[in-house]
Structure 1
Amino acid sequence: MARLGHWLALALVAALAVAASPMALADATADTDPGGARITITSQQLREYAAANLPGVEGPKYEYSWTSYCSKGGPESADKDPWCDGAVTACTRINTSGPGPAVFVWRKLTQEADGTAVTDGAWDRLGLTCFPDLVPGRAGALTMAHILQAFHDTPFSTPYASIQPVNLRTLVNLPTYFAAAYPTTGYQPGEVDTTTILGFRVEIRPTATSYTYHFGDGTTLGPTEDPGGPYPDGAIRHTYQRTATYPVRVDTVYSGQFRVNGGQWIDIPDTVTIQGTTSQLQVLEAVTRLH
C-alpha cells in the first residue's frame, strides 16, 4: 500500500509539472478558449495523419479536408471560407502556438488497409485545429501568420505633430495645442493596403489605437486615444516654461483589420508602433514695446 501511495504521489507531481510547462500548453490536445472553441487536433497529430497517408505505408488511406469554424456545412458545402472573426479569435484567445484560423478537420476512407478502393466513404469530422496549413493535402493554405506578416509589412504613414500657434513658433506660458497628423505618403488610419498572398486578395486597413505626445522638454502625454485638435477645443495642450527650441513628435500605435477576397473585415490581433517625425518647435518670449 505504501509503494502504491509512493507511485501515485510521483504521478501527481509529474502531471502537475506537465500542466505548468508553457511548452506543454503550447500545443495541447484539448485547449478551450473563453468563447467555447475546443482545439482538439495538434500539429503533431496532423503530421502523423500525413505520414500515414504516404505511399508504401501500411494501413488505410484517407482524403482530408477542412471547413471553417464558423461554417455549418461539411467539406462538400460551398461555405468553406475559413475567414471569420470567430475562427481567428479561437486561436488567439488561447495558447495553441498555431497561427490559425481555426478549422474543422474532416476525412473519409478512400482505401482499406488491404488495398481495396473505397468509393462511398463518408466524411468524418475529427475535430478543430489551429494549423490549417498542416491538414494533409492543404499545403500552402493562407494562415494568420501570412496576415500578420502582411500587416507588419504595411508601409504605415508616419505621423507628425500639427501645432498651434502655427509656423513652429509659440510663446512661454501660452497653452500650445497639438494634434496627430499624417502626410500623404504611406497608409494612414482608414486607408486600405491591398496585396496578394498565395493567390488570395488580402486587404489591410490600419486603425490608430493610441498616441503618445513628446513635447521635447522631458514631458510626454500618453498613450491616449485622443488624436488632439486645434484651438480652442483640442484636448492635447502643453505650456512651456522656458524659451528654447524643443524637438516634438507624436507616436502612433496602429492596430487594424483585414479581409480576404472581399469577405468580412476581421480585427488583427496585433499592433505596430510608428515613431513620428520630429519637428523643432521654437518657444519665444513675448516682448512688449512702447511707441
Structure 2
Amino acid sequence: MLTPAAARESIKEDYASAKGNQINVRGGTATSDMQQGLVQQQIARSDAGATASEPAPYQYAFSETCQQQSANCNLKKCEKGGNEGVLLNLLYADADADVKGAGEHIDYNNAKEMKGWSRGGTFCSAILDGAGEDGPAEQLTVVFTADDFNKLDVLPSTLNGPVNGHTLKNYNTNLWAVPQEQRFTTQINGRNVDVIATPSRFAFTYGDGQTLDSTNPGYALGEDQWDVPTPTTHVYTQTGDYQASVTTVYTGRYSVEGGPWLPVNGVNEVASAPQTIQVWRTEAGLVDANCSAQQDAWGCAGWDGK
C-alpha cells in the first residue's frame, strides 16, 4: 500500500485524474466537475501562464480518506481505467474564501489547515504504487500541452484575393481568409485525447510592410464590386508585385477518454502559402479610334506606351 507519507512526496501531490470515475463508497463521490476543477487548479499552480476557459467557482484541495495521519495509515486502493490508484477526499471552498493549501494536500486532522474547507466526496486518483513503501508514485494525469497542440497537423486558412491576383494602385484591395475548425484524435500516455482547434485570430501580411491583426477573417465581395472597403481590405500606394499571406491563430480544447473539455494552455499559429498581388496603375486619355480598327492606338493591346 502507498502510505500518506509517500503519497505526499509523489509528483508535487498531483493526485487528480483528467477524467472523473464514479465509485460507490461511503460518503459519496466527488462530482466530475469538482475533479476537473482540482485538475485545472493544479495545472495553474504548476504553470503561471495557464488559464481556464471560465473562472472556477470554487477552490479545491484533497486529503486522505483515513482520519489518522501517520506512516501506518494506509490509503485505500481503487481502480480506474485499468490502473490502480488510491482513494482520496476532495475538498472545496468558495473561490474568494480565505483558505490554506488550495490545490494541495490538506491534513484532515489539522483543524487550522481544514478551516474553511468542506468535504465534496471521494475520488479515485490515477496514481500507481512506487517501488517500495516509500518510493514515489507515478502520476498518470494527462495534460495536453501547447507543445502537443503544435505537433498536430492543423491546416492554415485559405487566403483569397482579387481575381487573377490583379489590383489597382490606391484601390481598396480585398483579401480575406477562409478558416475551418478542425478535430483530431491522438494519444498521450496510452490514453485517447480528442482535440478541437478553433480559429480565433488572423494576422494578415500584405507584402508592402503593412499588417493587420484581426478577429475577423474578412469576406468575399460580389463580382461587380470594386474598391469597396471591408474589415480586411488594404490600399497599395505603389505599383509592383507583393507577397501577401495570413497566419491563423488557433486556440484549442481537449477531452481525455470522453471526459469534460479543458482549454489548451497555448495556441497553434499556422501560416498560409503566400499569394502574389500585382498592383497596376490606371491612366485616362481621349482617343479618336477604337482598338478593333487600330490595335496600336493609345490604351490598346498593341500600344507601346509612347
What is the RMSD computed on CA atoms of the aligned residues?
A: 4.8
Q: Label 1:106 to 1:130 Cα distance change in 2 as closer, same or farther (>3 A).
A: closer
Give the alignment partner of residue 156 of structure 1, picking from 154, 157, 168: 154
Q: Which residue of 1 aligns with 2:252?
A: 256
Checking the alignment, whether the CA contact within 8 Å between 2:15 and 2:127 is kept in structure 1 is no
| CA pair 202-82 structure 1, distance change in 2 beyond 3 A | farther
- Is the aligned partner of 1:245 residue 2:202? no
**Contact 2:175/2:233 (<8 A) preserved:** yes
Q: Is the 8 A contact 1:104 1:129 kept in 2?
A: yes
Question: What's the counterpart of residue 168 of structure 1?
Answer: 165
Q: What are the equivalent positions in structure 2 for 1:43-192 lying under 5 Å apart?
A: 49-50=5-6, 66=15, 76=25, 86-91=37-42, 93-94=44-45, 104-107=61-64, 129=103, 139-144=138-143, 146-163=144-161, 165-181=162-178, 189-192=180-183
Q: CA deviation at 1:116?
A: 11
Aligned pair count reads 226
In structure 2, the gaps of 5 or more residues are: 53-58, 77-86, 92-100, 106-124, 131-136, 223-228, 291-306
Contact conserved, 2:204 with 2:212, CA < 8 A, in 1? yes
Gap regions ≥5 residues in structure 1 = 1-45, 54-63, 183-188
Supply the distance in 2 between the matched residues of 1:85 and 1:113 (Cα, whole angstroms): 28
Alignment partner, residue 96 of structure 2: none
Identical counterparts, % of pairs: 21
1:218 aligned residue: 209
Check 1:75–1:265 CA distance in 2 against 1; reply closer, same or farther (3 A cut). Answer: same
Q: Contact conserved, 1:65 with 1:105, CA < 8 A, in 2?
A: no
Q: How far did 1:133 drift?
A: 7.5
Determine whether 1:200 maps to 2:191: yes
Instruction: Look up the match of 1:40.
Output: none
Give the C-alpha shift of residue 105 in structure 1.
4.3
2:219 aligned with 1:229 = yes
Distance 1:107 1:75 in 2: 17
User: TM-score, normalized by length of structure 1?
Assistant: 0.58
**Which is greater in Rg?**
2
Cα deviation, residue 107, structure 1:
3.3
When residues 142 and 51 of structure 1 are mapped into structure 2, their CA distance, relative to the original with a 3 A threshold, is closer
Paired amino acid for 2:202:
Y
For residues 138 and 49 of structure 2, the distance between their equivalents in structure 1, rounded to whole angstroms, comes to 15
Structure with the bigger RCO (C-alpha within 8 Å, sep 6+) is: 2
Query: Is 1:99–1:143's contact at 8 Å kept on the other side of the alignment?
Result: no
The 1:67–1:74 alpha-carbon spacing in structure 2 relative to 1, beyond 3 Å, is: farther
Change (3 A) 1:78 1:98: farther
C-alpha separation in 1, matches of 2:62 and 2:128:
7
1:70/1:140 CA distance change after superposition, 3 Å: closer
Aligned-partner Cα distance in 2 for 1:47–1:280? 66
Q: Distance in 2 between matches of 1:283 and 1:136?
A: 68
